[in-house]
């Protein structure tokens, strides 16, 4: 019985096979340069687009401000909002005008300082301001609520230093972010996007290679 010769084996032969495949792929890339764009240009473009084009930060959000009784306390608090990078206060004559502005999407929230604001501001634990937020965008509404609460607590602390009257707020749980303390959405998105984009690119390149080999009959 005749015996067929065995195919050569061993690492030298395997390395020759691997070199032939690598050379073949380089020739394919030279013939179709679009693979280079998918492997290098597409990931960088997606990373720049999603990392820098998409932002979840709330900055310069238009707020309607209703002050029923102007005074030094109200002016001081509105000034703290005006100097914040998160808010863009817009004075309104009354709460009805502010509600119409929010219904027309000209503002995203309302800060309502009532007539007894100065008296109630000195009462520890009381909430002397009214806040109405547009809940269409739930994420932005939560951010605005947190920003307004922080602005209110900061104003109370500065007021207590100015007046010499200690304000004892209720117990508040304070969360601290060690990574990305500025809470910039870009720094949260980019690390996860790198893994997602590389996975997407690998799957896309594999699909294109298989389709190309099938169409050319070399598979």
Query: Is residue 21 domain-resident?
Result: no
Number of independent structural domains in the chain: 2
CA atoms within 13 A on the CB side of 196: 9
Share of the chain above pLDDT 90, in %: 9
Return d(Cα 113, Cα 174) in angstroms, integer: 26
- Domain residues for the domain of 207 are 34-56+183-219
pTM of the model: 0.57
pLDDT of residue 106: 92
- Separation CA 87–CA 61 (nearest Å): 5
Shared-domain flag, residues 136 and 212: no
In a domain, 92, yes or no: yes
Length, in residues, of the chain: 219
Query: CA 80 to CA 129: how far, in whole Å?
Result: 14
Question: Does one domain contain both 201 and 153?
Answer: no
The count of C-alpha atoms lying within 13 angstroms of the C-alpha of 143, restricted to the half-sphere facing its C-beta, is: 18
| Residues 95, 150 within the same domain | yes
Q: What angle do CA 178, 179, 183 make, to 5 degrees?
A: 100
pLDDT of residue 200: 84
Banded model confidence at residue 165, pLDDT cuts 50, 70, 90: low
Q: Are residues 70 and 156 in the same domain?
A: yes
d(CA 186, CA 2): 69
Please indicate, yes or no, whether residues 153 and 65 belong to a single structural domain of this protein: yes
| Closest C-alpha to 86, from 140, 132, 138 | 140
Whether residue 208 sits in one domain with residue 153: no
What order of strands is seen across the sheet that includes strand 87-92? 87-92, 61-67, 109-113, 129-133
7-30 confidence digits (pLDDT tens): 555 788 888 888 888 888 788 777
pLDDT at 139: 78
Tokens of 197: 């984009």
Same domain for 93 and 78: yes
Q: Verify that 120 and 139 share a domain, yes or no.
A: yes
Question: What is the per-residue pLDDT across 35-69, written as a single tens digit (0 to 9) for each?
Answer: 777 778 888 888 888 777 777 777 888 999 998 88
Burial class (CB in 10 A: 0-12, 13-18, 19+), 172: exposed
102 in a structural domain:
yes
Same domain for 66 and 139 = yes
Other residues' Cβ atoms within 10 Å of the Cβ of residue 75: 12
Q: Is residue 168 part of a domain?
A: no
Same domain? 65 vs 150 = yes
CATH for 95: 3.40.1710.10
Average pLDDT over residues 175-196: 75
Inside any domain, residue 178: no
Residues 44 and 193 sit within 8 Å (Cβ to Cβ): no
Question: By the 8 A CB rule, do 151 and 81 touch?
Answer: yes
């Amino acid at each position: 019985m005749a015996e067929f010769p065995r195919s050569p084996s061993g690492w030298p032969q395997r390395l020759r096979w691997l070199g032939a495949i690598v050379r073949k792929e380089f020739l394919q890339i030279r013939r179709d340069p679009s693979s280079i764009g998918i492997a290098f240009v597409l990931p960088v473009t997606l990373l720049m687009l999603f990392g820098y084009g998409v932002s979840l930060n709330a900055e310069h959000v238009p707020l309607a401000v209703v002050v029923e009784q102007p005074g030094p306390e109200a002016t001081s608090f509105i000034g703290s909002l005006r100097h914040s990078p998160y808010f863009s206060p817009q004075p309104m004559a009354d709460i009805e005008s502010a509600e119409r502005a929010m219904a027309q999407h000209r503002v995203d929230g309302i800060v309502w300082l009532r007539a007894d604001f100065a008296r109630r501001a000195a009462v520890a634990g009381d909430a002397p301001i009214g806040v109405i937020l547009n809940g269409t965008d739930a994420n932005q509404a939560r951010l605005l609520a947190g920003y307004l609460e922080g602005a209110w607590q900061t104003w109370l602390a500065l007021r207590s230093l100015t007046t010499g009257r200690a304000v004892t707020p209720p117990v508040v749980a304070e969360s601290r972010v060690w990574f990305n303390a500025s809470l910039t959405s870009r720094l949260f998105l980019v690390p996860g996007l790198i893994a997602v984009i590389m996975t997407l690119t690998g799957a896309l390149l594999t699909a294109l290679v298989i389709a190309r080999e099938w169409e050319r009959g070399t598979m």
